Amino acid sequence: MKYSELDRTGLLQEQDRCRKTYEALKAQGLKLDMSRGKPGKQQLDMVSGILTILSDPADCLADGLEVRNYGGFSGLPSAKALFADILGCRPEECFVGGNASLNLMYDTISKAYTHGLLHSEKPWSKLEKVKFLCPAPGYDRHFRITESFGAELITVDMTTTGPDMDRVEALVKDPAVKGIWCVPKYSNPDGIIYSDETIQRFARLRPAAPDFVLMWDNAYCVHEFDGDFVPFPDILSLCREAGNADMVFEYASTSKITYPGGGISVMAASEANQKYMQKLMTVQTIGFDKVNQLRHVLYLKDKAGTLALMKKHAAIMKPKYRMVLDMLEREIEPLGIAEWQKPKGGYFVSVNTMDGIAGRTLELCKEAGVVMTPAGATYPYGVDPRDRNIRVAPSLPPVEELQQAMEIFCVSMRLAALEKLLAA
Amino acid sequence: MKYSELDRTGLLQEQDRCRKTYEALKAQGLKLDMSRGKPGKQQLDMVSGILTILSDPADCLADGLEVRNYGGFSGLPSAKALFADILGCRPEECFVGGNASLNLMYDTISKAYTHGLLHSEKPWSKLEKVKFLCPAPGYDRHFRITESFGAELITVDMTTTGPDMDRVEALVKDPAVKGIWCVPKYSNPDGIIYSDETIQRFARLRPAAPDFVLMWDNAYCVHEFDGDFVPFPDILSLCREAGNADMVFEYASTSKITYPGGGISVMAASEANQKYMQKLMTVQTIGFDKVNQLRHVLYLKDKAGTLALMKKHAAIMKPKYRMVLDMLEREIEPLGIAEWQKPKGGYFVSVNTMDGIAGRTLELCKEAGVVMTPAGATYPYGVDPRDRNIRVAPSLPPVEELQQAMEIFCVSMRLAALEKLLAA
């Protein structure tokens, strides 16, 4: 029954029950981590073939390039082709980087500050004010990049079809608004796929700033854990068709395809953007790790090869997400104290509790040995104005541990809700 | 005999002889590259063991870290220990990066501009003027980093004991002078080892700028190609002892130990600097490629293992350098038209021709199919005021090709000298 329908006595009885459950779970002295979207050991073991796929030095001559030596600054041509196949863009629109797409995103913003982007009137460091749009709940590491350079972060609400586009279109009329962070497919943390209309409205945006940048982090572009691959449009083409060719930078990586600690990444952008950025980047590096780029090309081959591998990841991931969703449905839904999306891909389940209990829920979790993403992390400056969003990351623990962690999570949320209701 | 002692008739006869030789060499239609310090194929093939040294997923748990997953932001502890062993510093003073130390250097300067260094009063982008000292001849990619951020580059002459320290000590009295680029062992391109006195004077520098930075690129720290390993002092300790603990950032990489296109790199600095920089860098990346860091730890093991491998590189490199030096001694020395150091390590031979003929020499080389580092590249802004320094990079071509390239180089230099003398 719904907590809101319980009288004080009912609430106290429920609190008593929950406390006993909580104390019993706490007494087990568990140490469980659901804080980050980390692949589990089973997933890492599954791709072990990549460790040895490049074993013959004779194979190191690829695309006419000696991958072991200097050269090939913008990436191995076949690695560009692989990412272009996956993203639906052109190989010449791809710059292939090291193991972290985050690093490429940081670099884009950093260069906007130190040198300006292609259509900047001056470097952002020379401007009095830079504002950046942050659809929230969103990815803390995105927000922190722009925050670290001193930009003012403006929260835009997420809807079930993507960021609130009416608000976005209104905000970009301000020339100080220089960009927006987007995770268009299986958004972090909601797992929402931006609707076609949302994506079209992004492509057709008419920002006042000539150097407005759509930071399009396609981190989960092939990351279905339930059901078939869901196609997505090529944002570079859409922007080009809308006369916004140079507005978008798209990012992706193999972090959750092969290894988070040893993958490869891509920055896709118009050829004009590539020309401009690469001229700046030649000062920075002679090129990223081509040996590892070649390993990935040999191992993943193409989009089809990548999707086949993602099916195997899905087989490992799906039971974990089922566990989380089933548990929430059974333990929380009847109480009316939280809501959540039911994603079919990505790495998270995003739970919105009743207002004001997210922080307390996670505090109780921590006391009982379960570490989750800190409350507020999904909002700019780490402050969730309604203190209600919790990002659940079920990928790392084995299913058995996950069940224990979810038991602790659910009872912690119940206790937090009861505390709040009883104090009212 | 010396060209300066020839009369006009003698010069014209010599020019005629050289032209015939040059045209005959040119007619061979060669395509040879001596432009960059690239290891040759034989060197790359020698280290093929690193491709397969990490083949068992069970080995991927190292130092208590799952190297395949996220985490371990500042680098694998054993990789820090490896670099600390090589450089003589402490593991906790090491941040282990990706395949390019250049990228770490760029990042240091970039962060100085966007956020400031530990002792900066404000970010350098907020200053009217930043000056940077560039010992020359030096490494073009160093100079270009500071140039790209708008710093004014000030040339400091190289001597046989390192940069002209009287000049350095005088220049750092200007608070706008924010740092200096150094390659302390087998300097690029001269192959000079800074003397103990030079290094001590650097450590004891008293710059007016509180955030003056000694960019200490120890690129060739274990790169002897002739004779035994030459020990070098730990610059971090020396600076610490001189009360300048936070003044220095040291860089190194395995680019010329394993693979240029797939190695690992290090940024070594005081613990206070590491704390400050790493706080900024956590915004940028979750960590560099730990799988590859582990490969390097398993393959190189420690300093002793690294030095043993460098002996094998030396066996391949030495005949190439011998060829260059012998040829210069035979073909050029008697003519009195150039001078050069005779390095025992590093990747270059730096030739100073008579004034005003370096550019023309390389033009003639190019016409005959030999690409060298462009004239002027070793000076700030790519301008050699005396047009005389030429960086010869003999590592890439096999010895036979190198001989042909050097024949072309020597006769080109002779022709350039004769043109100049005849025009006088």
Q: What is the pLDDT of residues B133-161, one digit of tens each?
A: 999 999 999 999 999 999 999 999 999 99
Give the tens place of pLDDT for each residue, A53-101.
999 999 999 989 999 999 999 999 999 999 999 999 999 999 999 999 9
By CA distance, what is B47's nearest residue in A?
A57
A346 and A251 housed in the same domain: no
- Residues A371 and A294 placed together within one structural domain of the fold: no
Same domain for A197 and A77: yes
**Is any Cβ of chain A less than 8 angstroms from the Cβ of B276?**
no
A191, with CB counted inside 10 A (0-12, 13-18, 19+), is buried
Q: Which amino acid is at B270?
A: S
Looking at the structure, tell me whether residues A9 and A129 fall in a common domain: no
Which candidate from B45, B148, B287 shows the least CB-CB separation from A261? B287
Give the rounded percent of residues in chain A with a pLDDT score beyond 90: 97
Say whether B288 and A98 touch across the interface (CB within 8 A).
yes
Give residue A342's pLDDT: 95
Condensed to tens digits (0 to 9), the pLDDT of residues B23-63 reads 999 999 999 988 888 999 999 999 999 999 999 999 999 98
Looking at the fold, whether A246 and A162 belong to one and the same domain comes out as yes
- pLDDT on residue A15: 98
Cβ-based contacts of B287 with chain A (< 8 Å)? 100, 261
Give the pLDDT confidence score for residue B424 in this predicted structure: 85
Domain boundary among A272, A307, A342: A307
| Vertex A225 angle, CA A220 and A227, to 5° | 110
For A:70-99, CB contacts with B below 8 A are 70-72, 98-99
- From A45, A48, A102, residue closest to B286, measured CB to CB: A102
ipTM for the complex?
A: 0.96
**Pair of tokens at residue A301:** 């081959």
Q: Which residue, of B306, B340, B360, is where some domain finishes? A: B306
The proportion of chain B whose per-residue pLDDT surpasses 90, expressed as a percent, equals: 97
> Given an 8 Å threshold on Cβ–Cβ distance, is A291 in contact with B259?
yes
Torsion sign (Cα): A401, A404, A407, A408: negative
The CATH number given to whatever domain includes residue B387 is 3.90.1150.10
- Looking at the structure of chain B, the number of domains it has is 2
* Chain B neighbors of A286, CB-CB under 8 A: 100, 102, 141, 260
What share of chain B in percent tops pLDDT 70? 100
> Hey, are the CB atoms on B262 and A291 less than 8 Å from each other?
yes
Structure letter (DSSP) for residue A394: -
pLDDT number for residue A36: 85
Position A1 scores a pLDDT of 83
Last residue of a domain, one of A307, A336, A364: A307
Who contacts B140 (Cβ-Cβ below 8 Å, separation ≥6)?
B373, B377, B378, B382
Asked if A227 reaches chain B (Cβ–Cβ under 8 Å), the answer is: no
Nearest by CB to residue A99, choosing from B54, B110, B289, is B289
Residue A51 forms part of a structural domain: no
Of B68, B110, B141, the CB nearest to A114: B110
Amino acid at B20: K
Tokens 């623990």 found at: A397
Judging contacts by C-beta atoms under 8 Å, the chain A residues touching residue B98 are: 98-99, 288-289
Which residues in A lie closer than 8 A to residue B103 (C-beta atoms)? Answer: 284-285
Q: Which residues of B94-128 are buried (b: 16+ CB within 10 A; e: fewer)?
A: bbbbbbbbbbbbbbbbbbbbbbbbbebeebbbebe
DSSP reduced 3-state for A206: coil
CA distance A115 to B114: 11
Between helices B303-331 and B290-300, what is the axis angle to 10°?
80
Q: Are residues B233 and B373 in the same domain?
A: no
pLDDT of residue A285: 95
Residue A52 included in any domain: no
B343 touches chain A (CB under 8 A): no
Do B22 and B66 lie in a common domain? Answer: no
Which chain A residue's Cα is nearest to B72?
A: A261
Distance from CA of A323 to the nearest CA of B (A): 23
* Distance in angstroms between the alpha carbons of the first and the last residue of chain A: 19
Residue B90 and residue B206 share a domain: yes
Beta carbons of B69 and A44 less than 8 Å apart: yes
Domain that includes residue A276, residue range: 59-307
B161-B166-B167-B172 Cα dihedral, nearest 10 degrees = 110
A39 and A75 fall within a common domain:
no
Chain B environment of A141 (Cβ under 8 Å) = 283, 286
Q: With an 8 Å Cβ cutoff, is B19 touching chain A? A: no
Between CA A223 and CA A275 the distance in angstroms is 30
Residues B381, B277 within the same domain: no
Q: Does B115 touch chain A (CB under 8 A)?
A: yes
Chain A contact for B102, CB < 8 A? Answer: yes
Verify whether the Cβ–Cβ distance B286 to A60 is below 8 Å. no
Flag whether residue A259 sits within 8 Å of chain B, measured between CB atoms.
yes
Put simply, the answer to whether B261 touches A285 (Cβ < 8 Å) is: no
Is A32 a domain residue?
Answer: yes
Q: Are residues A112 and A217 in the same domain?
A: yes
**pLDDT, tens digit, 9 for 90 and up, residues A200-238:** 999 999 999 999 999 999 999 999 999 999 999 999 999
User: The CATH number of the domain where B124 resides is what?
Assistant: 3.40.640.10
A290 touches chain B (CB under 8 A): yes
User: Does the CB of A106 have a partner CB in chain B at under 8 Å?
Assistant: yes
Question: Do residues B411 and B334 lie in contact, with contact meaning Cβ atoms separated by under 8 Å?
Answer: no
Query: With bands split at pLDDT 50, 70 and 90, how would you rate the model's confidence at A365?
Result: very high
* Domain shared by B219 and B366, yes or no: no
Average pLDDT (A352-368) is 97
Give A-chain residues touching B66 at CB under 8 angstroms: 41, 44, 261
What is the rounded average pLDDT of the residues B230-259? Answer: 98
Residue type, A146: T
